[in-house]
Every structure is written in C-alpha cells, then in structure tokens.
Structure 1
Amino acid sequence: MSEKKIALVTGANKGIGYEIAAGLGALGWSVGVGARDARRREASVEKLRAAGVDAFGVPLDVTDEASVAAAARLVDERAGRLDALVNNAGVTGDMPQNPTGDGVVETVRTAVETNVIGVIRVTNAMLPLLRRSASPRIVNMSSGVGSLARQVASDDPATTGPLSVAYAPSKTFLNAVTIQYAKELRGTNIKINLACPGFVATDLNGFRGVRTPEQGAATAIRLATLPDDGPTGGFFEDAGVVPW
C-alpha cells in the first residue's frame, strides 16, 4: 500500500480538474487523472509528471458503470486505498437552456446523468477504498448557480448565470445529494463537501469566465486536505460559505 496520500480527480485532463490534480501533486500527493479521452488524459499525465507530480492515468467515463468499476480496481491495485476523491467531471448541456425550448428534456437528462448520477456512481464505487484511509475526503464540484438562495435573490445574470434549466438545477440536485451523503456518513471519518470554483474561464463557458482554472481549483484543494476537525456537509467558495 502506498505511503503517499492518494487522490482521484475526475475530469482532470483539463481546466479546473487539471489544476486540482496539479495542486494536490505539488503537496506531495499521488494523483489519479480520471478522464475518458485517452489522448488528453495521457498528455495531462505527462505534463504533470514533467512538473514533478506523481500522476497516473485512470480511464474513466462517469456515465458508464463498467468504466467506473474498472477505475476503482485500478486505484485499488496501484494504491490499496483512496485518501481524496474530487468529483469534478461535469457538463453544461446544449445551450440555450430556456425551460420551454426544443429538446429540453434530453438536455436535462444529459446534465443530470453526468453531474449527479455520475457523482453517485463514482462515489459509491470508491467508498470501499476511501474507508481504508485514515482521513478520507470527498469533494463535489458544484457552482454558485446551483444556489437556490442566489437564484431567488437576484435576476442579474452576472450572479445567477443565463437561463439554465439543465446545468444550474443539476448543481442544485448535486448539492442536495451531497447533504444526504453527509448525513449517512456522519460518525465516520469521511468528510464530504461542495466546492464552488467561481466563474472560471473554461471550455464549458466558452472561456468567458473571469477567474483562472488555478484560482478555481483552490477551494477544492483546501477541502480535499481538510484537517480532522474540519467541516462536513458544507458548501464553500474562496470567500467562505455559499448560501444554499
């Protein structure tokens, strides 16, 4: 069993996920780069290794049961446990996303399959490995647009984003699911929290964001490395707690 702390970051071949992997690697962690695109995955692993990170590729499609099971076996064979799982992989779905638009049902289904069901699938597959860790952490990447409090309080797209019947509600759904995990895992040493990266320039938003992927990764890295007296079941951004 590896003496280094072991992390798995889904969707880690680019953007925020890559920077989370890089940040944990810079702290001395061994990091699994979870991604479904083999070419991008291996290119990211090579780049991380060139920067001194102990990185390894993990073929992973969060929407595919067999792929997730194989990823759990790979991590088990390599490390024997998992100290941090960062559920970062996500999709926005086709835009625009007004509730009465054409194809809206399929757009919602696609977003929920990846952003919610995919997180549940991966988390449950990795829980046996997390339970072998002394201080296991789960971080689910959410978004400020998933905050119902913010959606209700403002009509300003700068705060709430554009009309989004698929992406924003999928993050609200993820927030609610994370609370249920926190309740079930209460009394164990597993801490699970939500991270909001802010409006980061990534391909999900056409690189319109105002924050860098490295800035967007900071909260997730902090939550993945929480001390034993740290919080669980919370929703956080750089500035502090995000309102539900």
Structure 2
Amino acid sequence: MSPTIVLISGAGRGLGKGLLERFLAKENHIVIAANRDPESPTFKALKELPAGPGSRVIVVKVDASVESDASAAIDELTSTHGIDHLDIVIANAGIAYTFPTVSQLKGEDLINHITPNVLGFVWLFQAAIPLLKRSANPKFVTMGSATGWLGIPVANAAYAPTKTLTHWMTKKISGEEDWLLAMIADPGWVQTDMGNSSARMLGLQEAPDRLDESCDGIVKVIDEAKKEIHGGKMWSYHGNEQPW
C-alpha cells in the first residue's frame, strides 16, 4: 500500500515538531521535515524520533525567505528520495520577532515578516502543486492564528497582518483549486517559544494552550477534513469552525 506522505514546513520545533511526531508515529507514513538548516544537530535529531511501523522521516532544506528553496526541495524529494506524491502539506513556518503597534511599525520589520510568512507560504504551495495533484486525497493546511482575525485586532502590526494574508490566500486557493482541500488550522495560543514570548509581552507567564493538546487536535481535524465541509475555512484544534 502506498504510504501517506506529509510535508511540514518549520518542523524543527514547536508546533511543527509536535505535528511531525504525531504523523511519524502513525503506520506507513513518510513525514518530510522542511527546515532552514537541516544539517544542524536539532534537525538531524528529527531522524531519531520514534516511528510507527513502515514510517520514516526525511529532512530537507526549505528557508521560507528564499524563493528557490521550496522548488529545490521538491526536486530533491523526487530525484533523491523517490517521493512521487504528497498527501498533506502543512504550511507552518513563520517568524515573529517584534510586536509593535501600527504607530511604532518599521517598514523593514513588516517586510521581514511578509517575506517568510506570506511569500514563503506562496512559494511552498506553488512548488508542491505537482506532487499534491498525484495524491488521491490532497490536503493543503495553513497554520493560522487568531492574531489575523479582523474581528479581534491584536497589537502586533508586523506579524498579525501576515496571518490575515495567508488566511485570505488559503480561502482563495480553496475556491480556485477544485481538486484540493485547502483549509486553515487555528492551533490556539500555544505554549511554544513564539507563543510564550508574546504572552510575556502582554504580562502573562505563558500562553494558555498546551502544545500536546493543540497538536493532537490539529492532527485529528486534518485526518477528518473534507473539502465540502472544511475547505476555505478556519478550524480550531477543538474541531470548531472559527470566525475571522
């Protein structure tokens, strides 16, 4: 039986690593971990994670700020690793290093966030299309965020707009590509480095949502997702459709 093949960007830590661990623990899964520096000890250690029967991990280089990286990774996967299709692509990579209001926002910081968070997302989607089309049930999942909701503006004028853009683009992908399930997964405000950093800036000790619960819920939503129900919408890790 053909394996289920999952590609996750930003899979070296936090949500990306948590999702990788869960898909890798399943039977007959190939999980592709796309990272900026696959030669670093952190990313090499991904190959040592527990794997289910017939499952394995492949680590490839994808720097979301480099336009050619996603297509080069797809070429490597097909030519070197024998990957002939992708069943699930999870666009998870992103950065958030400053939390300004609009009045404080520097143009350089906005551009630095847009490049990996938005353009990196677009480049990954475009590069993955040929292999997704070879899947019997292709799914493209955008890691969303409540910071991008228009109904609840968040004081993060560098990062939040990039999530609004990727939410919009995912909805458009769902409408434009009738062969593909494209959806947004809202992981919550998770206890990752990024989540806890933003929480401390707001006077909290840590983010409220546990990483394990978020990752378990996201995988369940992805496994159960159907285009006619989930396509072009945002879904929380609890399995509820989110307003935005």
**TM-score (norm: length of structure 2):** 0.86
Shift in Å at residue 20 of structure 1?
0.7
What RMSD over aligned residues (CA atoms) do the two structures have, in Å? 2.1
User: Hey, what does 1:192 align to over in structure 2?
Assistant: 182
User: Hey, what does 1:35 align to over in structure 2?
Assistant: 35
* Equivalent position to 1:212, from 206, 210, 213: 210
* Equivalent position to 2:219, from 183, 198, 221: 221
CA contact (8 A) 1:137 1:225 kept: no
Q: Secondary structure at the match of 1:123?
A: helix
CA contact (8 A) 1:115 1:170 kept: yes
CA contact (8 A) 1:14 1:44 kept: no
Can you give the 5+ residue segments of structure 2 that lack an aligned partner in the other structure? 198-205
Output aligned runs, 1:54-133, within 5 Å.
54-77=56-79, 78=81, 79-95=83-99, 97-101=100-104, 104-133=106-135
Can you give the 5+ residue segments of structure 1 that lack an aligned partner in the other structure? 152-159
Shift in Å at residue 224 of structure 1?
3.3
User: Hey, what does 2:201 align to over in structure 1?
Assistant: none
Find out whether 1:6 has 2:5 as its counterpart. Answer: yes
Give me the whole-angstrom Cα distance separating, in 1, the residues matched to 2:136 and 2:54: 25
The one-letter code matched in structure 1 to 2:30 is S
Runs of 4+ in structure 1 deviating by more than 6 angstroms, as ranges, are: none
User: Hey, what does 1:166 align to over in structure 2?
Assistant: 158
Shift in Å at residue 99 of structure 1?
1.2
Give me the whole-angstrom Cα distance separating, in 1, the residues matched to 2:13 and 2:93: 10
Q: Secondary structure at the match of 2:120?
A: helix
Count residues in correspondence: 229
The one-letter code matched in structure 1 to 2:186 is C
Q: Secondary structure at the match of 1:73?
A: helix
The one-letter code matched in structure 2 to 1:174 is T
- Percent sequence identity is 25
The one-letter code matched in structure 1 to 2:32 is G
Change in 2 beyond 3 A, CA 1:191/1:219: farther
CA contact (8 A) 1:144 1:242 kept: no
Shift in Å at residue 211 of structure 1?
2.1
Q: Secondary structure at the match of 2:224?
A: coil
Give me the whole-angstrom Cα distance separating, in 2, the residues matched to 1:52 and 1:199: 33
**TM-score (norm: length of structure 1):** 0.86
* Equivalent position to 2:171, from 161, 168, 179: 179
